[in-house]
Structure 1
């Protein structure tokens, strides 16, 4: 049993190291932080950070950025997400936290290389309505749902089969969501700042096979 535990811990460390290496690689590439700057040479833009801006996007704006790997529209007060984002075939990381939209466009299912999605601080998000799109993202490994006023996960969440890291911190969970048990590849679950009891019988007696942070 101890040997199995050590193997699981080692595997988790390797996953974190690999993820960190990927993130470090992307950080070497400079961020473009204004639309005007990015449009000068759109094919050279791999990281586009338009956070904390009140923006409106012209039709087909995002189609110009064929090589985009990282996009942040954090805190941009977007009531609707541009459907054209679904055309970003090389996108790996998308941060759309802190906006006002209610659902994720079905066109986002075409983000075949999306590995990490930030949906933090989305109090208007209808996660149940969006799950049909999320579960069609074949490369999605890391999902952030921090501070979304969640007290349960919607039916079908267990279909996010490739998830390895899930952030549910700063929500309203009183019990461990039952859908978690269906996430076969999960390695890390963040449940900090939830009214869940870390000494509950369920957490003590079930061998989940992944790390839970409370």
Structure 2
């Protein structure tokens, strides 16, 4: 009889742990789009999408979002990036596309787990002046610089040593930027919708060591 009760107890415990796992999985997938709702239980927020909104980001206590992995400020027309997001130690993906800032704060480099950064549609961005800060992101693997009116890359671009995938689509490049040759980890370059001549496209996979998409 004791053996039966023990079996039932173990089974119920396993079912309980399984249900907890399901809840955790759902929580990770849920995307919050309202900052007020997200602030009710910030420790449970893994994805926060504040795109196309007018929000006072300086008043937000970002250190409360201890588990945040994805954050989007897309098309929010931010004049500056809040220094306080340095406290998002688990952040992996950050979308800053479509804003009005020129310079990233030096604290930006403290996003130690950031893997993917979107800087698309940034007409005011001073790329060369931001390379140093971006290069200090130790785990950055994917960088988006799409539709930024770029004609060339800054000479210090080689400092982005950890970049594996680089998206330069919808710009004004007339040739493959030589600066990418200094990116030793690069394995994919997207140059779709640029002004690169067809004869240059014919050598897209020769002598570069990485795949190029035109």
- Please classify the TM superposition score into its range, dividing by the shorter chain length: 0.7 to 0.9
Give the stretch that moved more between structures: 86-95 or 191-200: 191-200
Give the stretch that moved more between structures: 59-68 or 82-91: 59-68
User: What SS is found at the alignment partner of 1:148?
Assistant: coil
CA deviations over 1:123-163 (Å, ceiling 9, x no partner): 11000111110000110000000000001111221111111
Stretches of structure 2 that go unaligned for 5 or more consecutive residues are: 1-24
> Is 2:28–2:46's contact at 8 Å kept on the other side of the alignment?
no
User: What SS is found at the alignment partner of 1:85?
Assistant: helix
Aligned to 1:158: 158
Shift of 1:65: 0.6
Give the stretch that moved more between structures: 69-78 or 25-34: 25-34
Superposed structure 1 runs of 4+ greater than 3 Å apart: 25-28, 201-206
Residues of 1 paired with 2:27 and 2:168: CA distance?
A: 25
Stretches of structure 1 that go unaligned for 5 or more consecutive residues are: 1-24
Aligned to 1:139: 139
Shift of 1:198: 3.5
Shift of 1:58: 3.5
User: What SS is found at the alignment partner of 1:192?
Assistant: coil
Whether 1:117 aligns to 2:117 is yes
Aligned to 2:36: 36
CA deviations over 1:52-71 (Å, ceiling 9, x no partner): 00111244521111111000
Aligned to 2:189: 189
Change in Cα spacing, 1:84 to 1:204, as seen in structure 2 (3 Å) is closer
Structure 2 length normalisation: TM-score? 0.84
Residues of 1 paired with 2:65 and 2:187: CA distance?
A: 33
Change in Cα spacing, 1:124 to 1:206, as seen in structure 2 (3 Å) is same
> Is 2:48–2:68's contact at 8 Å kept on the other side of the alignment?
yes
Residues of 1 paired with 2:96 and 2:36: CA distance?
A: 20
Structure 1 length normalisation: TM-score? 0.84
Residues of 2 paired with 1:191 and 1:204: CA distance?
A: 10
Residues of 2 paired with 1:115 and 1:35: CA distance?
A: 23
Aligned to 2:70: 70
1:4-15 mapped onto 2 (5 Å cutoff)? none
Aligned residue pair count: 190
Residues of 2 paired with 1:111 and 1:203: CA distance?
A: 37
Residues of 2 paired with 1:151 and 1:211: CA distance?
A: 21
Aligned to 2:45: 45
Change in Cα spacing, 1:96 to 1:204, as seen in structure 2 (3 Å) is closer
Aligned to 2:9: none
Aligned to 1:54: 54
Aligned to 1:213: 213
